[in-house]
Amino acid sequence: MIDLAGLARLAAEHPDDLATLERPLAPLCLGGRDIDTDAEPVVMGVVNLSRDSSYRESVCVSVDSAVRRGRVLAAQGAHVVDVGAESSNATSARVAAQEQARSLEPVVRELAATGVVCSVEGYDVEVVRAGLDAGASVVNLTGAGDDAAIFDLAAERGATVVLCHVHGRHARDLDGDGRRSPDADPVPAMVEAFARRLDDARSRGVSSLAIDPGLGLGFALDDQLARARHQTAVLLQTFRLRTLGVPVCHSLPHSFELFEDQFRGAEAFFTVLARLGGTGVYRTHEVPQIVAVLGALAALD
């Protein structure tokens, strides 16, 4: 059970890391504007172009419906709209890079033309290039196999990069075995991996960066309750990742195991834990709920 005593113990175990909550992080550049994500938490709304995506409410089956959803998300308060054309579920069909690019391009182009800040989700250079060519200004990098080429491309275009923590070349690789359980304490390995990639990105000219622990990526558990507990632990320990000096982005969980038919309220619940931990960027399928929760947390003392 989450209680004040447990949170107090967590804080006492990591006093130096906890102090990062009082120190400023590097700003996140979105649409030419630098944002202090502690003062103004960033909301990233999701548009899924793959029919395999598990969150059915975010799936768009045509360019028109995807553009409409993106505009609605922006109107509801999303700072950036994240467009993806392949599900990260390990059991979903793979979508060729050319097909992803063809799906993404018209959606991003039309949204960007109306002033919506767009992110392209991908791990393949061809997909990322298509999104940036269409007007995306953020790369949601869900792989690590083509870091060098994608960092060079992002630097050339002046794009912000969100680095996702993955165990293989991309979110579904899982080191080739299809299954990977989380470590008892996954944070040290994340910090080490992120530090290397952040250094590489900066050396190649990327100036605006965030990190994403990949709570829905890179591990598999048959026990879905254990999975939710792991995700909760990482959300509350976000402050330990802030030592890297950049905003932390979380793709908010939506545990069916815990919430059953009320799963659409799950991301709002996990937002509270994420904010307590020091999260700056919230990737969500439920933008109005998350905007409201973040507003309430800011208003309450």
Q: What is the pLDDT of residue 227?
A: 82
Alpha-helix residue ranges (DSSP H) falling in 82-182: 97-113, 125-134, 147-157
Q: What is the pLDDT of residue 144?
A: 87
Q: pLDDT tens across 85-129, in order?
A: 887 766 667 778 898 899 999 999 999 999 999 999 999 999 999
Residue 204 near residue 148 (C-beta atoms within 8 A): yes
Q: What is the pLDDT of residue 75?
A: 98
Distance CA(101)–CA(134), nearest Å, equals 10
Specify the DSSP class assigned to residue 117: -
Q: Which residues of the chain have pLDDT under 50?
A: 175-179
pTM above 0.75, yes or no: yes
Specify the DSSP class assigned to residue 143: B
| Domains parsed from the chain with CATH numbers | 38-254+264-277+285-290 (3.20.20.20)
Q: What is the pLDDT of residue 54?
A: 63
Q: What is the pLDDT of residue 247?
A: 98
In this structure, is the dihedral angle defined by the CA atoms of residues 256, 258, 261 and 267, taken in order, positive or negative? negative
Distance CA(223)–CA(193), nearest Å, equals 26
Distance CA(47)–CA(31), nearest Å, equals 18
Half-sphere exposure at residue 111, Cβ-oriented, CA atoms within 13 angstroms: 39
The SS3 assignment for 25 reads coil
φ, ψ (nearest 5 deg) of residue 134? -80, -10
Integer CA distances (angstroms), 264 to 81, 89, 249, in order: 19, 19, 20
Half-sphere exposure at residue 55, Cβ-oriented, CA atoms within 13 angstroms: 24
| Single-letter amino acid code for the residue at 128 | V
Pairing relationship of beta strands 249-251 and 33-35 according to DSSP bridges: unpaired
Neighbouring residues of 113: CB distance < 8 A, sequence distance ≥ 6: 135
Q: With 0-12 CB in 10 A as exposed, 13-18 as middle and 19+ as buried, what is 177?
A: exposed
Alpha-carbon Rg for the chain in angstroms: 18
Instruction: State in Å, rounded, how far the first CA of the chain is from the last one.
Output: 23
Distance CA(114)–CA(251), nearest Å, equals 25
Residue 135 near residue 143 (C-beta atoms within 8 A): no
Could you tell me the two tokens for 103? 């799906």
Following DSSP, what letter does each residue of 42-90 receive, concatenated?
A: EEEEEEE--TT-S-GGGB--SHHHHHHHHHHHHHHT-SEEEEESS---T
Q: pLDDT tens across 166-199, in order?
A: 876 766 665 444 445 556 788 998 999 999 999 9
Residue 126 near residue 135 (C-beta atoms within 8 A): no
Cα–chain center distance at 214: 7
Distance CA(38)–CA(267), nearest Å, equals 19
